[in-house]
Structure 1
Amino acid sequence: MSLLTDTQGTPERVWSALSAVTAADGLLGRDDLQALLNPNFVRNGQEREPTDVAPKQAIGSTVSLGLITLENGSYRLGVEAASDYATFTDRVHARLCSIDADDADYLVLETYAWMLLEIDKRQSLLWTAQTAAAFANAAENDIGNPAGGDLRINGTKVPPWRRWIQVMDLAVNLPGDLGFHPTLTGRLSREIERMALPRDVEIPFADFLAAAARVMPYIDGGALQDVVLRKTGQKPDRRRISRLLSMGLRDLADAGRIDLVIRGDAANTFELAADDRSAASVLGIVLKGAAA
């Protein structure tokens, strides 16, 4: 079971499975849960024979995420009940950030960490919306199975990977032919709300970056990014902020959520990736508003 092999275990179906067990006071029989996820109905006067593939994969993904566990033929809630969909997606993100390389779902955010670094190498985000096969081939070449054999990443896994990345607020689906578009703005905003850092005062940017990397380990300085750097033999410049993180920080500054303290003549500054406003040397940051 994993999020990328249970391809019909979509985020919406996993949320439904979690909600069903929650509504049953945290304990629901295996057959009952499967029936709720795929009820019978009549179409054009004919009774539909429900298939069990989609509900089984939805349940498999829910178990894989640790949201429910199977005990004596029944599914038990494995986490505190999520009151809404946003809380559910936060739980998914936190779970995927906490697991180790032995977990099948580790690949989800490891691939995101690889993509973030690859964006800087290619100096573009447009390639991330290329065909599933092309994206998988590039990722497998860098972070795949070094011993050969079964592929870690293939074209079949990319569509569910994109769905889960989007539901965690790490990408959006743009209209038309633009498609999948990675962004850190939404997730970064949500994590900043919970950071135990001072508000409305300037703090060193290095302190903020360290706090962000702990809860978003795929970004600059994060543990997952370090894994990818070792696999690909890259040596990072810790003073240069990645393109995707730079874009997210600028978005939040434009929205009035943070202030970036720019001091080009100071030591120990961090360089934001250049955009149409050019590069910027950041020394400090101000997080606005009370923490959640």
Structure 2
Amino acid sequence: MSVLARPQGSPERVWSLVAGLTALGGRIDRTTFESLINPGYNKAGVMTKTKAELARDTLGAASSLGLVEYNNVEAFLRVDVGSVDQLADHLHHHLTHLPDEDTNSVLLEAYSWVAVESDRHGNLSWIYELDRKTFADQANSALVGEDEDGRPMNETKLAPWRRWLTFIGLEMPLPLPGNPSFPSPVRRLLKEIRLAGLPIGEEVAGQEFLSIIANCAPYLDGGRLFLQACDRMSHSLKPSTLSPVLSAALWDLHDDGAITLRPRGDSTNAVKLTGDASHKIQNFSLVVLNAEEKAA
């Protein structure tokens, strides 16, 4: 079953479980393990266990993601991650390389649906015009596969889906009650772009830059999951035109100084950006990865 079927197994709880197992040597007996995932608390001299579903969902999520393995005798870690950031990096790599039939593939397949749907609309505002149920129903109708309840996405799964996307750097929570997170892959994109080994301060052809993104972020324009979503939705892409999701991310990276998008008037390979006609950069032919700022 997918991690979305274990809504109480949040990224924070899964990290706590992984960190706890790491501190205990990575392999412990079943009794100690059960105490770790459901330690309980002492109140007025009375020992009370935490809610059983918290421990169950946390263990289920960690196991589903291939982080922890257990049997009737012992439990042990299957990964070596030393920090929250390392866990996020590991999970992003894990999720981008899952076979289509894996139930957890829904996390990034649903994200690619958002990217393609934004391209179809030409903006991101449609996300905030739908209530939770309508959004979940539309996402579910665009996805394939099944979870234990027969639906890859439903209203209950939206919150854990967004939590996991935020954890791996693909969404940004908005400080507004009741509003869904903003589908911004900026944090993840910047990390993956730097890991790709692009030369600092040198111009790279726009199409080459986009090929790197399609490879490391297959849920975005040109990537495997993005193109599969286009096929399922019968959506035709405009040549050399980016979706509002990727356009917004590149604008943010440009405005923050992480990259520089350079138009070139005589270029026949210009890439068009969409979703914000007011931005001063509406197309680019070259990209420069700028040096990472060092903390003072």
Q: Which residue of 1 aligns with 2:284?
A: 282
Q: How far does the alpha carbon of each residue in 1:201-257 deviate from its partner, in whole angstroms, 9 at most, with x for none?
A: 101111111111111110000001111111111122241011111111111111111
Query: Contact conserved, 1:34 with 1:56, CA < 8 A, in 2?
Result: no
CA, structure 1 residues 31+119, in 2 after alignment: closer, same or farther (shift >3 Å)?
farther
Q: Which residue of 2 aligns with 1:13?
A: 13
Cα distance in 1, alignment partners of residues 173 and 18 from structure 2: 25
Q: How far does the alpha carbon of each residue in 1:132-159 deviate from its partner, in whole angstroms, 9 at most, with x for none?
A: 312111112222569xx93221111111
Of stretches 84-93 and 121-130 in structure 1, the one that deviates more from structure 2 is 121-130
Q: Which residues in structure 2 correspond to 1:173-212 (within 5 Å)?
A: 173-177=173-177, 178-212=179-213
Q: Which residue of 2 aligns with 1:111?
A: 110
Letter in 1 for 2:237: P
Of stretches 244-253 and 273-282 in structure 1, the one that deviates more from structure 2 is 273-282
Of stretches 66-75 and 203-212 in structure 1, the one that deviates more from structure 2 is 66-75
CA, structure 1 residues 158+118, in 2 after alignment: closer, same or farther (shift >3 Å)?
same
Query: TM-score normalised to the size of structure 2?
Result: 0.89
1:97 and 2:96 aligned = yes
Gaps of 5+ in 1: none
Q: Secondary structure at the match of 2:242?
A: coil
Letter in 1 for 2:291: G
Query: Contact conserved, 2:120 with 2:235, CA < 8 A, in 1?
Result: no
Q: Which residues in structure 2 correspond to 1:1-292 (within 5 Å)?
A: 1-44=1-44, 46-70=46-70, 73-80=73-80, 82-129=81-128, 130-144=130-144, 150-177=150-177, 178-275=179-276, 276-277=278-279, 280-289=282-291
Query: Contact conserved, 1:220 with 1:241, CA < 8 A, in 2?
Result: yes
Q: How far does the alpha carbon of each residue in 1:12-45 deviate from its partner, in whole angstroms, 9 at most, with x for none?
A: 1110111112112221233322311221223355
Superposition deviation, residue 289 in structure 1: 2.2
Letter in 2 for 1:58: T
Q: How far does the alpha carbon of each residue in 1:164-214 deviate from its partner, in whole angstroms, 9 at most, with x for none?
A: 111111112111233421112111111122112222110111111111111
Aligned-residue Cα RMSD (Å) equals 2.1
Number of residue pairs matched by the alignment: 287
Of stretches 26-35 and 197-206 in structure 1, the one that deviates more from structure 2 is 26-35
Superposition deviation, residue 107 in structure 1: 0.4
Q: Secondary structure at the match of 1:21?
A: helix
Cα distance in 2, alignment partners of residues 59 and 268 from structure 1: 49
Letter in 2 for 1:111: A
Q: Secondary structure at the match of 2:169?
A: coil
Letter in 2 for 1:198: P
Cα distance in 1, alignment partners of residues 244 and 113 from structure 2: 13
CA, structure 1 residues 207+169, in 2 after alignment: closer, same or farther (shift >3 Å)?
same
Query: Contact conserved, 1:264 with 1:280, CA < 8 A, in 2?
Result: no
Superposition deviation, residue 270 in structure 1: 0.9
Letter in 2 for 1:93: H
Cα distance in 2, alignment partners of residues 258 and 57 from structure 1: 40
Query: Contact conserved, 2:122 with 2:275, CA < 8 A, in 1?
Result: no
Gaps of 5+ in 2: none
Of stretches 98-107 and 115-124 in structure 1, the one that deviates more from structure 2 is 115-124
CA, structure 1 residues 126+73, in 2 after alignment: closer, same or farther (shift >3 Å)?
farther
Cα distance in 2, alignment partners of residues 78 and 279 from structure 1: 45
Superposition deviation, residue 279 in structure 1: 5.9
Q: Percent identity?
A: 31
Superposition deviation, residue 267 in structure 1: 1.1
Query: TM-score normalised to the size of structure 1?
Result: 0.91
Cα distance in 2, alignment partners of residues 158 and 37 from structure 1: 24
CA, structure 1 residues 196+232, in 2 after alignment: closer, same or farther (shift >3 Å)?
same
Query: Contact conserved, 1:143 with 1:232, CA < 8 A, in 2?
Result: no
